Structure formats: structure tokens, C-alpha cells
Amino acid sequence: MHLFRDGWTASLRGRADAGSRTAERWGVQGPALPSGTVDAALAGRDGHTYLFSGDQYLRYTGTDYSFADIGYPRGIAADWGGLTRIDTSFVLDGATYLFGDGRFVRYSTADYTTPDDGFPQPVPENWWNLPGDLARSFDRVDAVLVDRDRLVYLFRGNECFVQDLRRRPWRPSPLKEQWDSLPFAQVDAAFATDDGRTYVFSGDRFVRYSDPAHTRLDDGFPAMISAFWGKTVNLIASGGRVDAALALDDHTYLFSGDQFVRYTGTAYETVDGGYPRLLSALNREPRLTNLAVELTGVDAAFADRGTVYLVSGEAIHAVSATAYRRYADLVPDPPGCLFADAGGVYAEHQAGGWHHYNALEGPDLGARPDEPDALRTVPQAFRTGLDAVLTAPDGNVHLFKGTTCFDGRLRREQPIVERWGRARNTIDQDNSVDAAFVGVDGKTYVFSGDQFVVYAGPRYAGVVVDDGPLPVADHWGGLTGVALAYVQEGVTYLFEPPGPGGEMRYVAYSGPDYATPDGGEPRWTGPEFWNLPRHDTQPVAVLSTGGILQAIAGDMVMRYDPATGTWSSPRPFARTWPGIDDPAGLRTAFTGLDGTTYFFLQHEFIQHSGRAAIVRGAIREQWGLTRTTDVVTVDAAVVAGEHTFVFSGDRYARYSDIAYLFPDTGYPKPIVGNLRRETAFANLPAAFDDELARRFAAGNPAMIDAAVARGRTTYLFTGRTCHAVSTSVTATYATERLTRV
């Protein structure tokens, strides 16, 4: 363990050392110029100047060479087309050339990230196109300089070859004659700047010319290279300040101001090449590539196996490399259930009972025996052997064991099947039907409250529906309920329950496509829509029987004459439909595909042949029947995002209302193929479904054994394996979260 405070550092290895100044121990960089000399120099087309030394290089921006750019020196091998050392570099005719190790690379643009195709290449013989006698003796080039007057200088030992790019002949001469002011016997590197200055390096010294003819050195030169070049801005090395430290896999990071350094391994002698860097480059580090915020400083940092947390000011920035992480064999045996309580995660194991985990994605679980506080006041039968624990958003705790559930707030237990996973079905719930009709598409639609069900064939009573219950609002032009529905001359009409003054909304569909109503939205009307003999009368049902339209209003029946567009005089209901003595409680009626007519009263229905009532019974016993999807046991339960999820076998139910009376419409659903469509689980991979399917097919009674959610991440256990899925790869929290208990 290493401690940092006020410019001092100490290490704890069994016992604390005497301590030392941080700047002497940490942030130390390797030599900026490893060879002690400058092997090559380049005034690049990208506006930067580069100095190459050994296997490292420096970069400068502009013409102020007091300090190299942040993030330098860097290794040559990673950045220059595969070269490991660079002996010569220059720009000629708009292209940039770098030579080293008998090879060279070329860049035809100012972008030095990727060399031209086909490079590096071996250096061909007589690359410089020297005359024959010169070429035979010219085995190397020490340096190349292209000055502002378009003169090219080749330096080799004590010789200099000059070429005017406008005339092209080479002129050899001794270095002392061509550069009589130069105090060097040979040249290692040289470059010319846009502001008219020329720098020449030799051994451990360099000179500068502001004279374009190179006849007079600038004052103060020659000078030592080490006295001027290779200086870097390193806040730790210069000031000894360390704001935060982070050990992350094989790397260790130290943060200081707007900089950070990185170490690989645990020697900590020198920082990695290319460091320090600015915090703006932090998203180039492994596991931090998803960092999107701009940090001005890092006050603290910590990490688990899935997420890095950076504290900056009053914000904690959480960054994950991926939104899904799989940890095989994370726990010693499959947890019976997971439970988040008092800021911690608890798991009940088949052997050993309840344990408290430090963190599911921590370096180790740090499991220790401990019982959750929330279970210490519940009946003894619900303190162990639990299948699932659900802490609702309102703080209430629901405990699931076998086929029984215990409600912590009500202090009451009840069968799971009576409370959980039962899909809301208004026909069953209210024992009523509000409207029904046979559509132009050949299907029969039955409405109750804000829901409807669909029958695809001619059989209804006692038959399981083919679809639904479904919400009316999502499928019928925005209506919230249907009180009357029928088809007239190929047009389907659906009406909402009327308001106090008889006004109501309705939709119409011309044809068999019920996706969008005519006009795109509901219209308003009143009782005058039907133009019945009594204009203030609204029918409770409109029947289409044998092509004849009949309206039922009160205890009267009227027939519609399409030739005149009028209704007949009212006839007593009992004479038209014998066997139904009191139509006062009639809510709706329709004639089905089976040719019989169904009348729905307050809580019962009557099936009528046209001559007599042949069946009578309770609505909920015969209508709106669905396939059995009741949840009998619960394997896992979790609040993830805005919803609560309850898992049982190969299915799950979703709840949006914390009263938990009914799951959302359409639930329960199969886990495979559906769970990954939920927002909280959208980042689960397709392989997750495959794994669950194989597990269930192998005889495991549960697809999900346990679940718990922490912030943006939900943890699902399948046996000993933990699947961590996050809704996003980043999040920002307030620092006050750290002080919460």
C-alpha cells in the first residue's frame, strides 16, 4: 500500500517506511533522449517538430521548444510504420520520409498515423540518384536538411552534398567548406523551421542559425542538448502532488491536476512511455474508452471488475468497458436468492445460510456470514429457505418461499397464485362484457372496460381466446373503452361510453384493415348519429342478423331499411327475442359467426337461437378465457429501472404499478425471446437466451435462480454464474451517494 500526502509518500509493506518526497519517488519518466543524442529531426507537414533518439521520440507544437508536448516521449515502434529506430527524416517534394534499420517509410499527406501503402520498404541502392562515382562510395546518410531556399543537404561524416531542387545537380564538398561556421566535425540531425531558423545537432551539442545563409551562429551557441531539449511538463515530478491513485488490472494510475501517469506492473521505477498525459486522453486507456465527460481533475478513483469510478468535484463518473459482463462460477454454490439491504448484497446459499457480499463485481466477494436486518423481524419460517426476496420501490419487502408469499408491511402470508403473475382480465375481474362484434376481417372482438379479446373462429363460450386481453387504447384509434360496436355496409363503427350529455367519441374503419381509423383519429357525435324514432335515444346494441340491422334501445327493437335509410317503428323486445323476459339489464349483444345471438346482461350472458334462449350462464365462466399462466412459485424477483420483474420457471411477469395487483398487459411472457427486449435487459447478448434454453431443457426447473439490481446494473444468476447487465456503459452520481448508509 502506498500513501500520499502534501508532497510526501510512504509505503506499507508489513510496516511503514520512513517516507520520502513524492517527486523523488513517483512520476519519474525514462530518459527523453535515450541515446543522449538526437538521431534525427523532422519539421513535419502537420505543424509539429519531432526529435528521434534511440527507440523514443519527442514532439513539439509550434516553434517554442521549451517543453515537449504532453504525452511524450513515446516509443517509435508503435507510431512510425513499423520502424523501431529513425536515423534520418525530412520532407521533400511534399512527401515525408523516415529512414532506419535499412528500411524507410513514406507519408504523402500531413497525416502521420498511417504510411503510404506498401511501406516500410528496404532502402534501394542509390536512392538519392547520385552520380556513379559518388554513389559507389556513398554507403550511408547521417542527416538530411531541406532549407527554405529549396536546397537539400546530405550529411555524411565530414562531407556534405548539396542539391538545388530547381536545377538538381549534386555538389559534394567538405563539411567545413560548405558550413564553415559549424563547430562540428559531423552532423547527426538538422531541421529548418517556418520562422526561418535552422537547428543542427551533433553529439551532445546543437547550434541554431537565424541567418538563412548559415554563415553566422546565433548568440549562445553551441549549447548542450540536455540543457534545452527533452524537458516535459510533469506535475508529479515537479510538484509532488498526487490527487488520486487507481490500481486497474495490470496498470496503476496516478492523477495530478489535469494530468495522469500510468505504470505497468508493480516495479514503479518509471512511468510508461508516453506519460504523463492530459485527462482528456483518459478515454484512450483500457476499460475507460467509454468515458465521455471532460474532467478537470480526479479527486478519488476506485474500480471493481466491471466498472471504474472517477470522483471529480461533486460527481462520481462510472465507466464500464461493456454493458454486459459474465462471471462463470462466481459463487461457491448457486444462491437460493439475492437480497439488497442496508447498502449491501446478501445471498442465501444451500450450505451456510445467509452471507453478506462486499461487491458482486469486486476483486473477491468478501463473503461473510450475516443475516439481513430486514429479515430479523419476520416469522421464523420466512427467515431461511427463501426462493426470492423483493424490495419494492416503496420499501415494502415481499418474501417468496415455495407456493407462499409474505407481505412485510401487511404482516400477512398468502398463496403466490392468488397475488402474483395473474394477468389482468377485465372480463374475469368485472364479470361483464360492454360490446362485441364480428369484424369484416372475420374475427370476433369482445370488449370489457379498457380491454378486449379476440376469437379467430366461430366458437366462443367456454373457448380460450386467440389473443388478448389487449388494451383498447393501443388498437382502436385511441378510444379508452368501447360501449357499442357493429358493422354496417362494410364499415365498422366503435363508440366510447357517452358522457353526461350523451356526447361520445367514435371511430370508423372502411374495410378489413383495423390498423388506422378513417380520418386517423376519433370523432365526436351524440344520440342523433342513429336517427332513431326517438332522437334522444342511443342503442345499447346494434345487431347484424342475416343481413338485417337491428337496434336495441330499452325494451324496444327497431329494424333498419337501407333503401330508405330509416328505422322501423319500435317493436317490443320480448316479441323479437322470446325467452328474455327483462331486457332492462342488457349491456350489449351481437350475432356470432355460429349464427346465434349472444346477449350480455349485468353479470350473465344468454345464447339465443332466434327462437329461444338455449344457454344461460355467468360471463366470467365462459368468456375471455385465457391459457393458464398463473405464477405458482417465484424463482427470483427484482426492481430494475422503472419496472418490477418476477421470474417463475421459463416465464416472467412485469409490473409497472407497485401495488402489484396485476402484471402489465401481455404478461407473463416466456423469458427466452422476450426478456432481452426489456429496457433493463436490452444489453444481454443472444447467447444468454441460448444458455437459458439449454439449462431449462436439461431439467433445471428455473431459468433464473436469483436476481438483484444496483443502480444501472442488474445481476442475474444461473447456477453459479452471474450475468451483469447495465442499461448504459456510463453513469454519473452525486458524491453524497458515497455517504449513504
Cis omega before residue 668 (within 30°)? yes
Q: 2-24+236-321: what CATH class?
A: mainly beta
d(Cα 696, Cα 716) in Å, to the nearest integer? Answer: 15
Q: Above 80 in pLDDT, residue 586? A: yes
Q: How far is CA 231 from CA 64, 67, 268, 545, in A?
A: 12, 5, 21, 97
Strands 88-92 and 95-100: antiparallel
CB atoms within 10 A of CB 734: 10
Under 8 Å between Cβ of 470 and 452: yes
In percent, how much of the chain has pLDDT > 70?
96
The region, left, alpha or beta by phi > 0 then psi within -120 to 50, assigned to residue 284 is: alpha
pLDDT single digits (tens) 115-133? 999 999 998 887 887 776 6
User: What is the torsion angle, in degrees rounded to the nearest 10, for the CA atoms of residue 371, residue 376, residue 381 and residue 385?
Assistant: -20
Higher pLDDT pick, 134 / 584: 584
What kind of fold does domain 40-228 have according to CATH?
Answer: Hemopexin (2.110.10)
Q: Above 70 in pLDDT, residue 214? A: yes
d(Cα 624, Cα 426) in Å, to the nearest integer? Answer: 9
Residue 533 has a pLDDT of 82
Q: Which of 623, 679, 719, 651 is nearest to 420 (CA)?
A: 651
d(Cα 704, Cα 636) in Å, to the nearest integer? Answer: 7
Helix count and strand count (H, E) for the chain: 10, 61
Q: What is the largest distance, in Å, between two alpha-carbon atoms of the chain?
A: 131
pLDDT single digits (tens) 178-205? 899 999 999 999 999 988 899 999 999 9
d(Cα 155, Cα 140) in Å, to the nearest integer? Answer: 9
Tell how far CA 348 is from the center of its chain.
Answer: 30
Q: Among 228-237, 343-352, 636-645, which stretch is predicted with the lowest mean pLDDT?
A: 343-352
pLDDT-derived band at 608, boundaries 50, 70, 90: very high
734-740 mean pLDDT: 72
Q: Write out the three cell numbers for 163.
A: 542539391
Residue 250 has a pLDDT of 93
The neighbouring-strand residues paired with 394 are none
d(Cα 540, Cα 642) in Å, to the nearest integer? Answer: 40
Under 8 Å between Cβ of 691 and 299: no
The domain made up of 326-422+630-731 is a member of CATH 2.110.10.10: yes
Residue 128 has a pLDDT of 81
Label residues 686-720 b or e (16+ Cβ within 10 Å = b): eebbebbbebbeeebebbbbbbbbeebbbbbbbbe
Mean pLDDT, the chain, as a whole number? 91
pLDDT-derived band at 741, boundaries 50, 70, 90: very low
- What is the side-by-side order of every strand in the sheet holding 451-455? 435-438, 444-448, 451-455, 467-471
The neighbouring-strand residues paired with 190 are 200
Place of cell 338485417: 548
Domains 40-228 and 326-422+630-731 share a fold: yes
pLDDT single digits (tens) 334-361? 888 888 887 789 998 877 788 898 889 9
pLDDT-derived band at 137, boundaries 50, 70, 90: low
Q: Above 80 in pLDDT, residue 134? A: no
User: What is the torsion angle, in degrees rounded to the nearest 10, for the CA atoms of residue 662, residue 668, residue 673 and residue 678?
Assistant: 10
Residue 544 has a pLDDT of 82
The domain made up of 426-622 is a member of CATH 3.40.50.150: no
Residue 464 has a pLDDT of 92
d(Cα 185, Cα 30) in Å, to the nearest integer? Answer: 30
Where along the chain do its domains lie? 2-24+236-321, 40-228, 326-422+630-731, 426-622
CA angle 44, 46, 47 (to 5 degrees): 75
Looking at residue 243, its amino acid is: D
d(Cα 555, Cα 607) in Å, to the nearest integer? Answer: 18
596-625 mean pLDDT: 91
Q: Write out the three cell numbers for 720.
A: 453459479
269-277 mean pLDDT: 93
Q: How far is CA 219 from CA 211, 216, 538, in A?
A: 12, 9, 107
| Terminal Cα distance for the chain, rounded | 27
66-83 mean pLDDT: 94
